Structure 1
Amino acid sequence: MRTYTLKQFTKKMKRKCNNKSWLMLGIVGGSMTLIGLTWHDPAFSQQNIQIAHSNIGKSNGAPFTGKDAITFQADKVSYDSKTGEVTWLGDVHIWQNDHVLRADKIVFNRTTNIATASGNVSMVEPDGEILFTQHIQLGENMREGVMDQVYAILADNGKLAANGARRTGGRVHDFSRSVYTACPICEKKPKKAPFWQLRSYQATRDMENQRIDFSDTFLDFFGVPVFYMPFFSIVDPSVKRQSGFLIPSINFNSKYIGAYTTIPYYWAINQWSDLTLSPLFATKTGPQLSAIYRARFNQGMLRVEGGVADDTVSKRPWRNAIGDTIHSNGNGAQGYLFLKTEWALNENWRYGANVNLATSADYMRDYRINGYGQDTLQSNLYLEGFGEGAYSKVTMQAFQGLNRGVINDSDLPFVLPRYTYSYFGQPDALGGRFSLNTTNFILYRPTGVSDQRAQLALNWDRPFSNNLGQKWLLTLHVDSNIYRASHLYQQPLYLNQRGTQISGQALPTIALKMNWPFLRNFHVGHSTGTQIIEPIVQLIAAPNAQGGRSWNMPNEDSLAYEFTDSTLFALNRFQGTDRLDGGARANVGIHGNWTWDGHSIDTLVGQSYQTNVQRDIPAYSGVNRHMSDIVTRIRISPVQWFSGTGRARIDPYSGDISFAEGIFNAGFRHFGINGGYIYEPVTPYYYYFGNPFTSNGPSYLYKEKTSELTLGASTDWDHWHASAFGRRSLSRKQNVAIGGTVGYRNDCFSLDTIYFKQYTMINGESNSDTVLFMLTFKTLGAFGING
């Protein structure tokens, strides 16, 4: 390869052609004056030439400049001094930076400044577009041009074909009688219509504004027109972020606001932030304007979502489960704000905020704001740090109730603040490990107990084993709390105490646990497996804790009590530390496991024996007597296509089942089914719905039996998929919810139809139906229709 400047190349051509003229050359994508040329004599034809590669979707490429050299490669070059034409023949390549032109023949006329390329012409644009044609004429230093039978490959597998195209100003391509698709083209039958295509009278690709506009357009499926659009515009497939209108959403029959539509506008503010505005217009209520702002920085991120609306939906009062009349507070000017931000101080510390507020739950229900259906909205500010074996976090929390059938905002607490620290040490000289946990808070309720707590838990574990194969674990543990509380006579404690009380507790505990696994190999047919039988015994000694009620102590983290296989060997079976399991007790169990060829059966049966009975626990807790209920668990995976887990708690005196749950999953090649079941003789959620310590006991809602079944199934075949589920309360003889989805998906298109029906009441709403149709076209966007 020899590189010549313009002066050297001209002198060479003078000697060969006796012509004093000089050449100018432009390449598709813009104009420039020839600065340098690379000439290939036949002697150098076998040298390796590196051709510029396509950068579809990666960059915009380097622009033409007056300083960078143009390089060409050809089998033969000739110059006609009479006509002023330079002709390149053979495998012609001409490129500069990311601009590439290839053809069998290229003729450049110096007089008319027109270049003509013919035969297998291909051009690579800086933005990654590749154009194919058989003939093209370019003028005005290649800024203007006309081409026949054009085929373009765009980013993200986009393809555009046209009868002809015109290039204007080096920035705009006008395609006549064009077809656009992002679907694969059949290799065996390239003339076969793709899955979908946009067939338009004219398409304009504006490379400066990075958009493609279509006019008089039909949307075809398999070559059959199904929808007409007089005008349609999309962002160029090579663009990842660009300002413009997004696909509108059409919703025909919302229960509360009628038919409505949203017309989102996306604003790419800069490389690190954007804003999406979504005005909503409905037939039964006032408009809404919502927005989402997103920004990402070197040390953090920010996401703000909010909206304002004029909610004119007529709402009637309704009665909740205990007969209270609930009046609407969601009319008139309404709004919501969801903010999430997080920032790194250094490699060990970060801080952030989550703010979630709404003027009313009715407003969130009417306009279907994300988060509706939850019991509460939670907001917090936090600072957290990570160290080797240590974690620290301080947070401030607030809650807003959304389901006024069971939650009043005045009952919800403000945590101002909550501090947590955890430490887990390395093995010490005695072979044990020390850990420390503390959770402290200041909590305020407008109606209910307000308290402050300082808490510290110290723990030391020392594992060891002996020659008999027994595995031992010695644990020394201390829990300590100190409280200052007021309004103890209100929820959730309901103590007969007025004024401010100061109390505390300290509970040292020593525990020794022994696991004694017996292992053997067995044979089943041609399979070999292992069997483990493992007796487990745990002895725990601690002072009697009395449950905490008679000590005038608040209860913030131990309201729920669940005795199952997961808490059988726990030092404290309450969820937190406001209530502690004291006294002496022995926990025993036997664990069995059978494993063969990737299949397994795992079981556990156990029971607890205690000297003291806690007084601050529900009657159906399973540990309200000296001998607890029997807890069982089984996990089975006997074949590759089935697995399941079941748990139960059995009263040893009556043989009644006081708790049971199970889940299973069966999956085949094109079909799957799953399900679950839960049973309890009460509804634990309602235990503290009112004062459970009166002579009448907990609310009648608590005393209703829970018996609920869930079933689901799914299937997929080729490009199709479908699923359905149902959830039914057997004790109440009514459905809880049902739903399903049916869809189709391939490389360039997806269609999903989703249906959901809710039977239970949430904030006065029941028997609500939701239907969603979602069509997604690759490179075009998603079209959603709700009903």
Structure 2
Amino acid sequence: MADRPGFAWWRLCSAIVGTLLATLFVGTPTPAGAQFSLGGGSQQDQNAPIVFRADEVEYDEQLALTVARGHVEISQNGRVLLADVVSYNQRTDTVTASGNVSFSQPTGEIVFADFMELRDSMSEGFAKNVRMLLADRSRLAANTARRTNGNRTELRRGVYSPCDLCKNDPSAPPAWQLKAREIDHDKELQLIEFRDATMEIDGWPVFYSPYMSAPDPSVKRASGFLVPSIGGSNTLGANVTIPYYWVLGPDKDLTLTPRFMTQAGALLTADYRERFGNGSLDAIASGNHSNVGFGSSSSNQGEQWRGQINEHSVFDLDETYRTGLDVQRVSDQTFLTRFGFGNPLLNAMTSRGYLEGFEERASTDINTYAFQPLLPGIGDSTQPIVLPVANRNWQSQPDALGGRWNLNANVLDILREVGTQTRRLSLGSEWNRTFRDAIGGQYDFSAGLRGDGYSINNLSAVSNPELPSAFFPTKGQPAVAPIPTNFVTGRAFPQVGLVWSYPLIHRGEEITELIEPIAGGFAGPSSGNRRNIPDEDSLSFNFTDSDLFRRDRLAGYDILDTGQRVDYGTKLGLYDKDGGSYRLLIGQSYRAQPNTFLPLGSGAENRLSDVVGRVVLSPNSYLDLIYRFRFDTSPFADRVQQVGVSAGPQSLRVSGSYIYLPAQLQSQVVTNPATGQNVLYGKREQLVFTATAKLTHYWSVQGSQTVNLTNSTTLVNGLATPSAANASLYASLSAIYQDECMAFIGSVTQSGVRNGDVTPGVSVTFSVVFKNLGEIGGTVAEFGTNILP
């Protein structure tokens, strides 16, 4: 390296470092998610040590020109400029770099150019044949780039793509790229404008726009139209959706989504979101004026205003407590399904307000609920309004005997426009202790005492005195006209339990074997359940393997697991050295007296319960199977059968589930006087199947189907809902493509749901996601006839 005046060398390095910190490409437009900023640098950055290398440096004092040639490298703070020739003119304050120019940042971005020129303190500049490799491996190229007034950057013949180039043929077009004749970036307006923009997929143009604009990467949010979608439907007709995003402030926004349909008018959806210092709010509302009951002449109610509200909010009160509100309401039972807002199998909408807190050994939750049924034949007037249900639970440290105390309080207040109103206060305590004997047996002891107080209004009773409950009697005749009654009552219920287990383990070279007999005894008064205490929270009890060896098997408070009983069973297990396992649990319960307050058919209402159990097989990563069963022993008959299986390698994974439930007996069902609901289920047998196959590195297919396997009829208040055997309730088939820069999903979906203006049909949807740009898609067609088996 030749000798040169130190001042000129320092000015050259300082100028180039300035280039590194505030170059021509400050604010060069790139898509969101691939933000690329070469500009701005702190004073500390600019004062950092500079590394300068070149084969030779010349300084012309008369021209005030410094030129560095041959393998020029200038770096500071991880920013590196490489070029064949770099010059600096002190008089014109111009820096030029030519020949294999590259500029890299520590964040991974690299700029390549054939020629670069900066002047006027780098507020003006020009570059030729610009190529940029961004931090996320995206690429941006342009024939020329020009910067003026330190604010505006102009690219000519610009091309952007986040896709990798073909390794075998780098000149081949990428999976997709966006081209534009001009790309102008106004830093002050924070706006990027595209002129004559074309989207190409695999080299084929698929979209053209003479003009479009977008906020630059420094803008996190900006008001404007979002990508529209179009589609077609046999019930909605041809439709187009044009969403608009509106920024209302740094902490709030609103998305307005009008949808115009040829057969259902216009639908407007508004989504308002706001962030607070201690929480958030998200509220969605939709409105439409169209036929209610469309597609069913018997239920057509004519044109009406229809809509829905779905609000979710949560706020932290302090480090322990938070509160929230979820509101779900809809104008009618079919609005959500018809316009594609929800699960077609949804039975009800639930609104909830809550307060909850979590401490080291205590928890508190207070909830209010309101329900809106979506099934035919069930009205709002009989639905419970919970104001509130509250729980407080506290657990102690281990006491002197090694046990722990649990204290629990529960408050419930249920209102109904028509039907029973219930207020309940429950206080309970429990002591638990686990210990082992000298030969390896384990004992789990628990003792509890609970007191319940009730205030009941408008209790609807039945005339048959043999009916053991006013709510879901297990025998007798249907209820007669309700008889309102008002009263206060209470009860106390102590219960103890002891569970013994003795695991026997044999470890072999290949297999570890486990045999574990288990037995438990539980004792409490045979009384406690009352005919005049309505069952609000224990209606769905169904005896399963998870209920074995539990002192209190009921999730709610209204029905007590009274009397004395013994649970007995066995666990068996085989575990191989490669991680495979084979497990079995089987057990049964015997009680001294039958509990007639448990639902008939639950499996535990008689002295000798049904036999329950589960089998779990996981021999390797290619197979997982679980089989859960319940058998009636007198006479022997299957009650409940559930099978779940997942098999195959990741390239071809198949999963499925099967469930069988027997038909209810007519003697099991009477009218629920509190809700007015009378439900009789026929035999139910259902199969759910899902398969995923990876065809290539990028392509895969996925299919699923839900099939009703048997003829059955469900009666709700006498309204029959038949289900045909081997009928498809839901099916879908999807083709999926995914690479490093785009994803495509095309689906054909069939629904067998029929409810008012919701009819069975097939829909065709697609969705394409472009990395760093966004997503387009929607329902493109819908047919009124099932075409899938």
With structure 1 as the length reference, what TM-score do the two structures score? 0.84
Q: 1:542 aligns with which of 512, 524, 533?
A: 524
Q: 1:46 is matched with which residue?
A: none
Q: How many Å separate the matches in 1 of 2:324 and 2:236?
A: 36
* 2:395 is the counterpart of 1:416: no
Give 1:648's match in structure 2, choosing from 629, 643, 662.
Answer: 629
In 1, distance between residues paired with 2:390 and 2:51?
70
1:769 lines up with 2:762 in the alignment: yes
Matches of 1:339 and 1:760, distance apart in 2: 26
| Higher mean C-alpha deviation, range 221-230 or range 634-643 | 221-230
Aligned position for 1:738: 731
Say which of 302, 305, 311 aligns to 2:280. Answer: 302
CA shift at 1:730, angstroms? 1.2
Distance 1:605 1:280, change over 3 A: same
Q: Secondary structure at the match of 2:336?
A: helix
Q: For residues 636 and 185 of structure 1, what CA distance do their matches in structure 2 show?
A: 46
Match of 1:751 in 2: 744
Q: Which residue in 2 is equivalent to 1:498?
A: 484
How far apart are the structure 2 equivalents of 1:627 and 1:461?
Answer: 27
The structural deviation recorded for 1:468 is 3.0
1:297, CA displacement in angstroms?
4.1
Within-5 A mapping of 1:334-349:
334-349=306-321
Whether contact under 8 Å (1:773, 1:785) holds in the other structure is yes
CA distance in 2, matches of 1:360, 1:686: 33
Aligned to 1:712: 690
Alignment partners' CA distance in 1, 2:420 and 2:163: 63
State the alpha-carbon separation in 2 of the partners of residues 106 and 515 from structure 1: 83
Bigger Cα displacement from structure 2, 580-589 vs 208-217: 208-217
Q: Which residue of 2 aligns with 1:266?
A: 245
Partner of 2:703: 724
Call closer, same or farther: CA 1:591–1:328 in 2, change over 3 Å. farther
Whether contact under 8 Å (1:272, 1:296) holds in the other structure is: yes
Q: Are the aligned partners of 2:34 and 2:138 in contact in 1 as well (CA < 8 Å)?
A: no
Please name the residue that 2:158 is paired with. Answer: 178
Q: Decide whether the 8 Å contact of 2:338 with 2:758 is kept in 1.
A: no
Give the drift of 1:395.
2.3
Q: Distance in 1 between matches of 2:546 and 2:633?
A: 19
Residues 1:224 and 2:204 are matched in the alignment: yes
Report the equivalent of 1:779: 772
Number of corresponding residues? 734
Q: Could you tell me how far 1:150 is from its partner in structure 2? A: 1.2
Counterpart residue type for residue 710 of structure 1? V
Greater alpha carbon shift after TM alignment, 179-188 vs 280-289: 280-289
555, 564, 567: which one aligns with 1:584: 564
Q: Identify the range of structure 1 (722-731 vs 351-360) with the bigger mean alpha-carbon deviation.
A: 351-360
Distance apart, 1:9 and its partner CA: 4.0
Equivalent residues of 1:61, 1:97 under 8 A apart:
no
Q: Distance in 2 between matches of 1:295 and 1:98?
A: 40
Relative to structure 1, is the Cα distance of residues 251 and 139 closer, same or farther in structure 2, using a 3 angstrom cutoff? same
Amino acid at match of 1:541: A
User: What is the alpha-carbon distance in structure 1 between the residues aligned to residue 283 and residue 344 of structure 2?
Assistant: 15
Which residue is 1:611 aligned to? 592
Aligned-pair CA distance for 1:291: 3.2
| Match of residue 457, structure 2, among 486, 493, 498 | 486
2: CA distance between counterparts of 1:514 and 1:65?
Answer: 73
Which among 318, 335, 339 is matched to residue 367 of structure 1? 339
Work out the CA distance in 1 between the residues paired with 2:236 and 2:366.
42
Please state whether the residue corresponding to 1:566 is helix, strand or coil: helix
Is 2:149 aligned against 1:169?
A: yes
Matches within 5 A, 1:18-33: 27=19
Identity of aligned residues (%): 29
On the 8 A contact 2:190/2:219 being kept in 1, the answer is no
CA contact (8 A) 2:314 2:323 kept: yes
Contact 1:660 1:679 in 2 (8 A): yes
State the secondary structure of the residue aligned to 1:62. coil
1:478-510 per-residue CA deviation (whole Å, 9 max, x = no partner) reads 232111112221795669642212222222112
Structure 1 counterpart SS, 2:525: coil
Contact 2:690/2:705, CA 8 A, preserved across alignment: yes
> 2:552 matched to 1:572?
yes
- Structure 1 residues 120 and 474 mapped into 2: Cα distance closer, same or farther (>3 Å)? same
Tell me how far 1:599 sits from its aligned partner: 1.3
Q: Which amino acid aligns with 1:531?
A: E
Distance 1:435 1:67 in 2: 60
Distance 1:151 1:316, change over 3 A: closer
SS in 2 for 1:411: coil
**1:726 shift after superposition:** 1.3
d(CA) in 1 for partners of 2:570, 2:45? 82
Query: Does the CA-based 8 Å contact 2:291-2:302 persist in structure 1?
Result: no
1:311 matched to 2:289: yes
Which structure ranks higher in relative contact order (CA pairs < 8 Å, sequence separation ≥ 6)? 2
Pairwise CA RMSD: 3.8
Q: In 1, are the aligned partners of 2:94 and 2:118 still within 8 Å (CA)?
A: yes
Equivalent-residue separation in structure 1 for 2:489 and 2:292 (angstroms): 50
Q: Which whole-Å deviations, capped at 9, do the CAs of 1:62-93 have from their partners, x for residues lacking one? A: 36999966968353544334434333334556
Distance 2:249 2:495 in 1: 59
Alpha carbons 1:247, 1:783 under 8 Å: kept: no
Give the Å deviation of 1:167.
2.2
Whole-angstrom CA distance in 2 between matches of 1:411 and 1:211: 57
- The answer to whether structure 1 residue 596 and structure 2 residue 583 are counterparts is no
Deviation string, structure 1 residues 690-743 (Cα, Å, up to 9, x no partner): 4499xxx995x6241011112211112311122111111111202221112210
Partner of 1:405: 376
Q: 2:363, 2:621 → 1: CA distance?
A: 40
Q: Which residue in 1 is equivalent to 2:30?
A: none
- Which residues of 2 match residues 618-629 of structure 1 at below 5 A? 618-629=599-610
Match of 1:351 in 2: 323
For normalisation by structure 2, the TM-score amounts to 0.84
CA contact (8 A) 2:492 2:528 kept: no
The Cα offsets for residues 250-303 of structure 1, whole Å up to 9 and x where unpaired, read as 2311344323233333345555444433333333334344333334344x2212
Deviation at 1:476, TM superposition (A): 0.9
For the 8 Å contact 1:234–1:780, the answer to whether it is kept is: no
- For 1:268 and 1:89, locate their aligned partners in 2 and report how far apart those are by CA, in whole Å: 52
Match of 2:399 among 412, 428, 445: 428
1:635 equivalenced with 2:616 (yes/no): yes
Q: What's the CA shift for 1:652?
A: 1.1
Amino acid at match of 2:490: G
Query: Residues of 2 paired with 1:686 and 1:192: CA distance?
Result: 74
Contact 1:28 1:143 in 2 (8 A): no
Say if 2:334 and 2:757, in contact at 8 Å, map to a contact too: no
| Separation in structure 2 between the aligned mates of residue 11 and residue 60 of structure 1, nearest angstrom | 24
1:181-209, Cα deviation, whole Å (9 max, x unpaired): 01012455432221111233333344445
What are structure 2's unaligned runs of at least 5 residues?
Answer: 25-32, 462-469, 473-478, 712-724, 781-789
Q: CA deviation at 1:747?
A: 0.5
Q: Structure 1 residues 531-540 or 344-353, which shifts more?
A: 344-353
Give SS of 1:448's match: coil
SS at match of 1:304: strand
Report the alpha carbon displacement of residue 409 of structure 1 after superposing the two structures with TM: 1.6
Q: C-alpha displacement at 1:453, in angstroms?
A: 0.6
Q: 1:662-696: CA deviations, max 9, x gaps?
A: 11110214101111111111269997784499xxx
Shift of 1:98: 10
Q: Single out whichever of 563-572 and 361-370 deviates more from structure 2.
A: 361-370
Whether the aligned pair in 2 keeps the contact of 1:56 and 1:128 (CA below 8 Å) is no
Structure 1 portions without partners, runs of 5+: 1-5, 14-21, 33-54, 320-324
Indicate how the Cα distance of structure 1 residues 626 and 498 shifts in structure 2: closer, same or farther if over 3 A, else same: same
In structure 2, the CA distance between the partners of 1:218 and 1:505, relative to structure 1 (3 Å rule), is same
Within the alignment, does 1:376 sit opposite 2:348 as a pair?
yes
